């Protein structure tokens, strides 16, 4: 099942893809909430959504809707660094110490962006880079999850681009500043529920810039597999429905090239994961807007 957050004709809602149609879940059945986080927190509704078909539901043509980030407001967006051997090696060659434990950082949730929405080139930097990643969406509130039961807390998977502002990334030991600029968290285009992904550790992940293939990996090459990531994180904190986990990027990032090849205004970045889908985002100048305080 593919689950989406969408807008169409002035309506903002959550839905399920059925062929060329998007079923508006709460318009079809008022038992469904209006937000994805609420829906994921109510597992009894998952089975009900599975049974719905466009022929007997309130729906829109998929071509007509605007797909938004499937979870627009996750409680947490956590990402692991240097989780593929080749990427760790290119980081080592660049003088970055590679630890022997899992390395985690936050992407502040205000960075979350739609699957086809533009990414802003910050006013304060031209060191914009890309990182293709498989994303995991948590579906159950959990703590101290054993690796062998980690699959039970996964709602599904999506495509992520952990867009990074490399000079600002260096300004904090946690990397969070350079990972959290507005619009630098495009995700989507939908959540593919875990029952439709036979093996998340056997998926091809690719990224193109303007049609040039830059990254290409299979998730089987992760250093720390998804089950171990969930076990590690849940040792520290409670994971909650709608939390996002980015599971690491392969080699081929722009900063590691010689010379570095950062993104420019006008570039188009596409990330494709077999069995999940693709996202595509153009780089534009950060819009000129007045400073404000709410």
d(CA 269, CA 263): 9
At 87 the pLDDT is: 77
At 93 the pLDDT is: 73
Cα 71 vs. chain centroid, distance in angstroms? 9
Domain 77-285 class, CATH top level: alpha beta
Spell out the domain ranges in the chain.
2-68, 77-285
Task: Return the residue matching tokens 């630890």.
Answer: 99
Residue 117, both tokens? 């929405």
At 20 the pLDDT is: 97
At 290 the pLDDT is: 66
At 98 the pLDDT is: 73
Radius of gyration of the chain (CA): 19
**31 backbone dihedrals φ, ψ, rounded to 5°:** -70, -20
At 86 the pLDDT is: 80
At 75 the pLDDT is: 98
d(CA 279, CA 202): 19
d(CA 250, CA 44): 36
At 293 the pLDDT is: 64
Closest CA to 69 of 186, 166, 179: 186
Task: Return the residue matching tokens 């969408």.
Answer: 6
How does strand 103-106 pair with strand 2-8? unpaired
DSSP state at residue 107: P
Chunked into runs of 10 residues, the chain (294 residues) has average pLDDT values of 97 98 97 97 94 95 98 98 85 72 96 98 97 98 98 98 96 94 98 97 98 98 97 98 98 94 98 98 91 64
Cβ proximity of 186 and 178 under 8 Å: no
């Amino acid at each position: 099942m593919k689950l989406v957050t969408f807008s169409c004709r002035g309506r903002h809602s959550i839905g399920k893809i059925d062929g060329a149609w998007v079923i508006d879940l709460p318009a079809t059945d008022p038992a469904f909430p209006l937000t994805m986080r609420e829906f994921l927190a109510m597992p009894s509704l998952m089975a009900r959504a599975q049974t719905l078909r466009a022929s007997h539901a309130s729906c829109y043509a998929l071509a007509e809707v605007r797909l938004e980030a499937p979870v627009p407001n996750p409680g947490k967006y956590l990402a692991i660094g240097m989780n593929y051997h080749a990427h760790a090696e290119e980081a080592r060659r660049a003088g970055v110490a590679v630890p022997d434990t899992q390395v985690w950082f936050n992407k502040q949730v205000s960075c979350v962006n739609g699957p086809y929405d533009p990414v802003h080139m910050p006013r304060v930097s031209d060191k914009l880079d890309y990182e293709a990643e498989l994303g995991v969406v948590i579906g159950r509130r959990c703590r101290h999850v054993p690796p062998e039961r980690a699959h039970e807390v996964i709602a599904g998977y999506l495509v992520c681009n952990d867009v990074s502002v490399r000079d600002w990334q260096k300004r904090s030991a946690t990397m969070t500043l350079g990972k959290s600029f507005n619009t630098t968290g495009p995700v989507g285009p939908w959540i593919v529920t875990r029952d439709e992904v036979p093996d998340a550790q056997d998926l091809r992940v690719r990224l193109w810039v303007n049609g040039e293939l830059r990254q290409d990996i299979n998730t089987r090459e992760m250093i720390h597999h998804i089950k171990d990531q969930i076990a590690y994180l849940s040792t520290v904190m409670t994971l909650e429905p709608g939390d996002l986990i980015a599971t690491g990027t392969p080699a081929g990032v722009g900063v590691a090239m010689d010379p570095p090849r950062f993104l420019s205004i006008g570039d188009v970045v596409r990330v494709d994961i077999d069995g999940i889908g693709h996202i595509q985002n153009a780089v534009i100048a950060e819009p000129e807007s007045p400073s404000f305080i709410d």
